[in-house]
Chains A and B, each alone.
Chain A
Amino acid sequence: MQNYLEFEKGLAEIEGKSAELRSLARENEEMDVEAEAKALDRKAEQLLKDLYKNLTPWRKCQVARHPDRPHCADYIKQLFTEYTPLAGDRNFADDPAVMGGLARLGDRPVVVIGHEKGHDTSSRIERNFGMARPEGYRKAVRLMDLADRFNLPIVALIDTAGAYPGKGAEERGQSEAIARSTEKCLNVTVPMVSVIIGEGGSGGAVAFACGDRLAMLEHSIYSVISPEGCASILWKDAEKMRDAAEALRLTAQDLQKLGVTDLVIPEPEGGAQRDRKEAIRRVGKALEQMLSELDGKKGEALRKARRQKFLDLGSKALV
């Protein structure tokens, strides 16, 4: 079953009709609908292409949050071998919103971390919809430390609406945990590459996104605040999220122009949710590419270059 977004309504109708025709034909062997159904398919294909050619920023937000998009666990399953999850922050708990551990990318042993949103109701609840608590960030810090000590590159997959705004999370120092995770990204002496595979929500995303390279999937977003949040503060009306999404410049394409993102990974036609395998494969290719660029770089020089990259940010404006 395909989940359609609100702006894909027209597409849903056409694809629905074609599927209906085909199912009628299966019941009734005398009917020949193939030509008609194929015409509908072609129409749907063209519409899909047109829809995704120039997605507005708000539509990109919707695609980035699409429930069928591949999530961290899917990427780990397809791209890595010998994945060995490591758990816990050694202080309080394990946070299922952040997964991570040792794994091999090709031949290369790495430490992988990422936000996991879950894929159905029960796993979403268990994963807290990918909104990490302080324990999640502290676990990540611990894993990054491990990578640093054993000279393993770090791969981070980012997909979160933001850090969890809950009572316990605040009590246990959400902000400090995020600050320490950002600090750790900036301090490790091994290569670190991050990919935003869906939503890059504010501080919760920054905590994993301060490595040597940052890539973004074509329809992913990275923003200081959600468009809805921004609209309700600046427009005093959460319904103005389309305007806010426009103004915030949160698309991968704009962020590349600003120098925040190094690489934009093209998605399959109609978004990663329509061809999950292919989307994951392309991310894998990008990871290989970024890691081999960083091969042989380590220690103080790597750290210095990474820090300089962030200090230099802000010198490019959008024109």
Chain B
Amino acid sequence: MNWISNYVRPKINSLFSRREIPDNLWTKCPECGQMLFHRELSEALNVCPSCDHHLHISPRERFEALFDGGVFVEIDVPQPIADPLQFKDQKKYPDRLKEARRKTNEAEAMLVAEGKIGDLQIVAAGQDFSFMGGSMGMYVGNAIIAAAERAVKKKCPLILFSAAGGARMQEGILSLMQMPRTTVAVEMLKEAGLPYIVVLTHPTTGGVTASYAMLGDVQIAEPNALICFAGPRVIEQTIREKLPEGFQRAEYLLDHGMLDRVTHRQELRRELITIARMLMNQPPAVVANLPSPEVAAAVPAEPKAEAAPKAAAPKDTDAKPAS
């Protein structure tokens, strides 16, 4: 190797050839190393077809797959004061925010939307790990409060997808104060008698887990998601021993009674519809072609009668082993 191939060639290459290849056509699965074509991957909701690893998915992509026909309306989130502490580490906080906005094309780390799933009105909130690690600052707090208020107003469930490294250090104590603020939001739903379903996705850690992400009526996690308060590295440093395989992963939490379910991303939509409709005392969702809204409004009398014996049936089976 000489200076021509080391220095000049890469420069020339970057001038001419690189621009002609669009980025992100292929993604390498971080788990099994398989090269995945972008269209195939997004059709699979960013789940690796060969090893079932759940890759990162943005809230927008998630919502497009979640809501009926991919139709949803974004809910406005009140803007908090920008950079209240004038925080500066190696970079200024506003610069970090700008960079994150450019990278993700999103305003902040949480997207709130309303729409229908399985013909049931819901509000959904999705946390974006690619936006500064999904970190919980004042905007995320405001977003959750806005989502809860909207759900209470519409008398519908709130489904929240969490993904965050924790609180946003650049907002100091005010990020920590989102723990009580978001807890108040959850209480609003509870007092209104509305379901609050949490889907914990990889990774959900720190102050986020210690507030709204652990207070759901139903707690679902995606497979192998890291869910914890203190991260594995911190624990290993504290107790000076190696942690077991799978520690703090979704399945481990399920085993330890911290979750209701671990559900594959491709099954999530169906499961959320089922659970939300039951909690809202609605008849089962119509799986085939959805009738127009007028027809749907007229139908409920019938399926309700059907639903009653179904609900009774599991009770009987439960009673048998007991007696």
Contact = CB atoms under 8 A, between A and B. Distances in A.
A313 B177 contact: yes
Contacts of A317: 81, 84-85
Interface stretch (A44-52, A164-172, A289-297): A164-172
A233 B141 contact: no
B8 to A, nearest CB: 33
Contacts of A180: 215
A311 interface: yes
Interface in B192-250: 206-207, 209-215, 228-230, 234-235, 238-239, 241, 243, 247-248
A225 B229 CA distance: 13
A186 B89 CA distance: 33
Given A165-B229, A170-B235, A318-B86, A248 B210 contact: no
B183 to A, nearest CB: 5
B89 A314 contact: no
B238 to A, nearest CB: 5
A250 interface: yes
A111 B257 CA distance: 30
Residue in B181, B212, B241, B248 with the greatest tally of chain A CB atoms within 10 Å: B181
Interface string A261-284: 000000000000000000000000
Interface residues on A, range: 35 or more
B150 to A, nearest CB: 15
Interface in B46-78: none
B280 to A, nearest CB: 23
B35 interface: no
A175 B183 CA distance: 13
Given A178-B210, A234-B89, A234-B90, A310 B180 contact: yes
Contacts of B88: 247
Contact of A314 (B141, B167, B209): B141
A150 B103 CA distance: 54
Contacts of B172: 223-224, 247-250
A76 interface: no
A313 B210 contact: no
Interface in A304-319: 307, 310-311, 313-318
Contact of A166 (B138, B179, B239): B239
A286 interface: no
A206 B179 contact: yes
A62 to B, nearest CB: 19
A196 to B, nearest CB: 11
A302 B258 CA distance: 32
Contact of B228 (A175, A224, A235): A175
B181 A223 contact: no
Residue in A180, A187, A249 with the greatest tally of chain B CB atoms within 10 Å: A249
Interface in A195-212: 202-203, 206-207, 210
Nearest to A203: B210
B111 interface: no
Nearest to B215: A179
B258 A176 contact: yes
A183 B187 CA distance: 8
B174 interface: yes
Given A183-B187, A314-B138, 8 more contacts: A171-B256, A174-B210, A178-B211, A179-B214, A186-B180, A224-B176, A310-B184, A316-B84
The 3 closest A-B pairs by CB, nearest first: A165-B230, A175-B209, A175-B229
Interface of A: 163, 165-167, 169-176, 178-180, 182-183, 185-187, 202-203, 206-207, 210, 222-225, 230, 233-235, 243-244, 247-250, 255, 258, 260, 307, 310-311, 313-318
15 contacts: A163-B230, A166-B230, A173-B258, A174-B210, A179-B183, A179-B212, A182-B211, A203-B206, A203-B210, A206-B207, A224-B169, A235-B89, A247-B89, A310-B181, A314-B174
